[in-house]
Chain A
Amino acid sequence: MTPPTPAPTAVGAQAPPERAERSGPPRARRRSSRAPGWIRRASLPYLLLLPALALELLVHLVPMVIGVVMSFKTLTQFYIRDWTTAPWSGFDNYRISVDFSAPVGKDLLDSFVTTCLFTVASVALCWLLGTAAAVFMQESFRGRGLLRALFLVPYALPVYAAVITWAFMFQRDNGLVNHVLHDQLGLGGDRAFWLIGDNSFYALLTVSVWKGWPFAFLIVTAGLQNIPKELYEAAAIDGAGVWQQIRRITLPSLRPVNQVLVLVLFLWTFNDFNTPYVLFGRSAPKAADLVSIHIYQSSFVTWNFGTGAAMSVLLVLFLLVVTGGYLLLTSRGRKSADV
């Protein structure tokens, strides 16, 4: 057989390991030459990992380190061509970011608080809808397969296509939402603006939940399949009804799944850029000014990358602390539950 077809296309970032591997198979027979074979076998896993590692380093880890360096520089558009020449500024960027009495710091704080509120609300609703749907659909009924496929559509749709549709629905004069609320239900006096002003928070939340809950549904559905049926049978024999079974068996059994799910939902929602960006365009209204958008704007609109980098670093520190604390708390809970 010829070498695998994907290999030629993969030449580039990972050329060296590829070549080393391709020369491997013919000589890799057992007992041919012991020492090189042994070395080859020991280094093979590392060679296999090399492309993935190199790419992660190049696109994620190195830029992160550079980002930290950038946050200590005065990096305006004049230094873009060669960022290393930008003058050092010590902790100035950080000082500006957290000086809550000045506009920059105050805006960042507002944006941060908005993001926290938004994230908590969105994660809670996603989890609730996902879990309820999964539990209701645990037992087979007619049309369940079709419904399951339908429920995954928001997850499968490209973000921009889905969100732009929502933006249309939220239009003040020709959107569906105002048509239903104002024309059909006769609520409120004037047609409301949904994409500017305070209402934008709820518009964003709606879209975010619509897009996010199917993932919770997926994960919880999978988690439900791991619950042994004997548990339900035993409970039914003991006379527990469906509602009681859900409360006593289903929800407690989902605990480990929920621990991962909530963390993933939290990180995705908190860092979400695509939804607000497509929904509001480059300038998000204050009520829906998520921190990702905020940093993007303060970098690419004002062309001050140093302050943007400092804000990013602060954001990551926050996420690290929250994630670390969460993992510590939940794993401790899990351990004591096991005992």
Chain B
Amino acid sequence: MSSPSPTAPPRSFVWSRRIFLTLLTGFVLLPVYVMASSSLKPLQDVSGRFRWLPSGLTVRPYLDIWKTVPLAKYFVNSLIVAGAATVLSVVVAVFAAYAVSRYRFRGKRVFTVTVLSTQMFPGILFLLPLFLIFVNVGNTTGVALYGSRGGLILTYLTFSLPFSIWMLIGYLDSVPRDLDEAAMVDGCGPLGALFRVVVPAAIPGIVAVAVYAFMTAWGEVLFASVMTNDTTRTLAVGLQGYATQNDVYWNQVMAASLVVSLPVVAGFLLLQRYLVAGLTAGAVK
């Protein structure tokens, strides 16, 4: 973007900027470097004194991570849970955001404020009751929510929902109303207009919301640690399997961390622009 001041910044500014940004980059990248370099180190490099440079490179950790703990199973569980939560969350959020964006109705403000305010409550507050509800629902109806992927999907879905709705309202507001009015004149109902005109026009925003929802579900630890059992365990909990054993294979922990981070970091960086626009729209408005 163009520079705000027509004159070149003074040297003091340029140098402060250089020093500050260099230090900050170092701080940000340090763990990333540790993660990447340690994942390629032989075991003796990570169990002895820390080494900046590996004594030798090996891909063994990347082969071993699948055997030390059932990482593939955790991976699949995480994919199912995060994937399902994302799809459902986006669909529900599109409906809600469309209503808020296009209609005037009583209770609109109450709805948006209530939904957003659920964000401020600590997870711990409804973790215990939700745990009990799931256990009790299972006992009385036989529908296993506790320990099942379904229960976790249901929970994660609501975690991303408030912010997704909030972001989507902004995106849908930016789709010109003339478009859906034209569609309605052509004989579409409101929902026809939503799916044939508004949704296609808001695809970047919807994708951004989907990435956000996926990241939220992929990274959650608290509920995953309580609501899963051996068969439904997700990566968030499973990754600690390397660390709770007597001997910690740090090279494997780092390799596994890198592997589980790749999908979300790649997705985030690819769609960065849309996501950033959506994440910031609410706060700046």
Contacts and interface: CB of A to CB of B under 8 A. Distances in A.
Nearest to A44: B190
Interface string A149-174: 11111111111111011111101011
A285 interface: no
Chain B residues touching A, majority SS: helix
Interface in A276-324: 277-278, 281, 292, 295-296, 299-300, 305, 308-309, 312-313, 315-316, 319, 323
Interface residues of B, number: 117
Contacts of A173: 49
Contacts of A105: none
A252 interface: no
Contacts of A316: 121-122, 125
Contacts of B114: 56
Given A161-B239, A233-B5, A52 B219 contact: no
B80 interface: no
A219 B50 contact: no
Interface stretch (B53-61, B65-73, B91-99): B91-99
A83 interface: yes
Interface residues of A, number: 129
B285 to A, nearest CB: 9
A222 B280 contact: yes
Given A25-B189, A233-B5, A273 B124 contact: yes
B31 A169 contact: yes
A164 B128 contact: no
Given A56-B115, A164-B239, A226 B128 contact: no
A260 B28 contact: no
B47 interface: yes
Contacts of B264: 156-158
Contacts of A156: 215, 264-265, 268-269
B35 interface: yes
Interface in B26-55: 27-32, 34-35, 38, 46-50
B51 to A, nearest CB: 8
Contact of B50 (A3, A174, A281): A174
Contact of B189 (A24, A222, A281): A24
B4 A243 contact: no
Interface string A1-18: 101101101101110010
Interface in A234-273: 235-236, 241-243, 245, 257, 260-261, 264, 267, 270-271, 273
Interface stretch (A63-71, A94-102, A196-204): A63-71
B219 A218 contact: no
A22 B126 CA distance: 34
A82 B136 contact: yes
A241 B10 contact: yes
A274 interface: yes
Contacts of A136: 16-17, 20-21
Given A4-B195, A242-B5, A274 B91 contact: no
B283 A257 contact: yes
Contacts of B279: 218-219
Given A7-B91, A133-B20, A156-B215, A45 B105 contact: yes
B95 A312 contact: no
A138 interface: yes
Contacts of A233: 4-6
Interface string B154-188: 11011001100100000000000000000010011
Contacts of A192: none
B63 interface: no
14 contacts: A9-B91, A45-B108, A51-B92, A51-B96, A52-B115, A66-B129, A70-B128, A81-B135, A155-B268, A158-B218, A176-B34, A257-B284, A296-B124, A313-B125
Interface of B: 1-7, 9-10, 12-13, 16-17, 20-21, 24-25, 27-32, 34-35, 38, 46-50, 87-88, 90-93, 95-96, 98-100, 103, 105, 108, 111, 114-115, 118-130, 132-133, 135-136, 139, 154-155, 157-158, 161-162, 165, 184, 187-192, 195-196, 199, 215, 218-222, 225-226, 235-236, 239-240, 243-244, 250, 253-254, 257-258, 260-261, 264-265, 268-269, 272, 276-277, 279-284
